A and B are shown apart, each in its own frame.
Chain A
């Protein structure tokens, strides 16, 4: 069974650093892009970034570029999302999701077929 297991809930203070994780199993981890999606309390989904564990190629949403860092360790089938200095506005649920490349006519994109259960991050003084 393909699974993504995320790290547990975090409570941090503004200015602190944080790294959350997402461990894949049941598939060839380094062959699929994997990414992160944010959901702030009571709000919609926001696509943040993806990484290809095979060569660590990354893509970021302009909204999150420079705010977070995505990384992966293919030797342990784990992807990470990292903050160097948290803000209260980073309070949210963060989901990791496997991205599968697909084509439709002349267009290409990814569908997220497997999701983790989410990691709640609370940033409060």
Chain B
């Protein structure tokens, strides 16, 4: 098992770019997903396989990875994007591990 580290909070102005990082010493060559969770709702998959968007997820959401850090980028952030965001990766066996989550504030 291992840990994934995310910043507790990120703030961005509407229309600007938000970047949320996820760090872990085993993230190199790992399979990373990102989930969005709004208050009182179930999580929603926004990025899978490091940089793929499910159908219905706006193009402003993108993912990337370099070394031990994965990044979720939201271009042209909208107020509706305000939510908690969680990265997730997979250890062997398989075992899923979530990051601690990042609260994105759009103001």
Contacts and interface: CB of A to CB of B under 8 A. Distances in A.
Interface of A: 35, 37, 44-47, 50, 59-63, 95, 97, 102-113, 115-118
A111 B98 contact: no
Contact of A109 (B33, B99, B100, B101): B33
* Residue picked from B48, B100, B101, most chain A C-beta under 10 Å: B48
Contacts of A113: 45, 48, 54
A115 B44 contact: yes
B89 to A, nearest CB: 7
Interface of B: 1, 29-33, 35, 37, 42-45, 48-50, 54, 84, 86, 88-90, 93-101
A81 to B, nearest CB: 15
A37 B90 CA distance: 14
B39 to A, nearest CB: 11
Contacts of A112: 33, 35, 43, 45
24 contacts: A45-B35, A45-B88, A47-B96, A60-B95, A61-B95, A61-B96, A95-B42, A95-B43, A102-B31, A102-B48, A103-B31, A104-B49, A107-B31, A107-B90, A109-B30, A109-B31, A109-B32, A110-B31, A110-B90, A111-B45, A112-B33, A113-B45, A115-B44, A117-B42
Given A60-B95, A105-B29, A111-B49, 13 more contacts: A35-B96, A45-B86, A47-B95, A47-B96, A61-B96, A102-B31, A102-B48, A102-B49, A104-B31, A107-B31, A109-B49, A112-B33, A118-B42
A47 B30 CA distance: 17
Nearest to A45: B98
Contacts of A44: 84, 86, 98-101
